[in-house]
Structure 1
Amino acid sequence: QVNAFALPGGKIGVYTGLMEVATNQDQLAAVIGHEVGHVIAEHGNERMSSSALINIGMEVTNQLLQTNQIATSHLIMAGLGLGVQVGVQLPFGRTHETEADLIGLELMARGGFDPRESMTLWENMAKVSGDNRQPELLSTHPLPATRISNLSNNMDNAMLFYNAATTKPNCS
C-alpha cells in the first residue's frame, strides 16, 4: 500500500509500498516530515474534537426534528450530514494535510534533506494514482497538483533552511 500515517501518541508508520514511490532519502524525508507535522500540529486531537462537536450538533438537531414531529426529518438529517461532510469535515482534512505538508517541508529542510524533492514525491504519487482520483472537493486530501503548488510557493523559505543545514544526511 502506498501510504503513511501518524497515530495518537506520536507513532508514525510507513507502508512498504511507499518505498517504491519515494525513490530517494529526500522524498522519504518529505513523507516522514509530513507525518511528524500531523503530530506537532495535534491534528488527531483536532479531528476528535471536531467529530465530537459535529456528532453532538447532529444529535441535537435530530432530537429537535423528532420532538416537533417534522415529517421530512430523515431527509433534513441526510442533507445536513452531507453538508457537514462536504462543507466542514473534508475541507478541515485538506487544511490539515496542507499544514502537515508545510511543517514537513521545513523539518526536512532543517534536517539537511533537499526540500525540492517533496515536489518530485508528489509528481511520483500522481503517476502512481493516474486518473483514479476523486475531485478534490470530495476528498480529505489535496490533489497532488495542489500540493506541488503549495510546496512550490513555500520553497524559497525551505531552501534557506536547507542551505543553512550544517549536515546533509547520506542514508544508504
Structure 2
Amino acid sequence: MNAALSDVRLLTGWLDAPSELGAFTAKYPEAGGVVSFLGQVRAGDGVEALELRHYAPLTLPAMKELAARVRERWTLAGLLIVHRSGMMVPGEPIVLVAAAARHRRDAFAAADYAMDHLKSESWFWKREKAKGEWHWIEPREQDISDLARWA
C-alpha cells in the first residue's frame, strides 16, 4: 500500500466543493495532476428532490475501506472522498472525489474507480421526488457494467 493520505467524510449538510477541492489541491503541490469528479442532483424530468439514506454503522467504514483499496491500486499523493446524505434539490452537490498523483493516469484511474464503486456498491438508498411522487432509484445496468470492468 502506498502512503497516500486519505480524507474520507460523510456529510449531512452542504458540500462546498470549490473550497474542498482548493484545500485538497493546496495540500499536494508535488502532484503533477489532481483529478476530481463532482456529482450533483440532476435537474429536469420533473425532479424536485433527491434523498439519500444510509446505515450509519456501515457507511463511513465502508467508504474508508474503499479509499484503502484505491490507495493499494494506484500511486497517489492524496485521495479525497466526501459524500452527502439527506435531502437535496437539483443543482446541489452530492459527492466529490479527488485524487492527487505525480502522474495523471494514476489520478484519473483512482478517481474513476472510486466513483464506480461509490455508485454501484451503494451503501446509500436513494429516492427521488418527481412530479410530486417519491420513487426508489435502483442501480442501472450501466452502473453494474462500469463496476465489472475493474474485476
In terms of fraction of residues, the more strand-rich structure is 2
In terms of fraction of residues, the more helix-rich structure is 1
TM-score for both structures, normalised by structure 1: 0.29
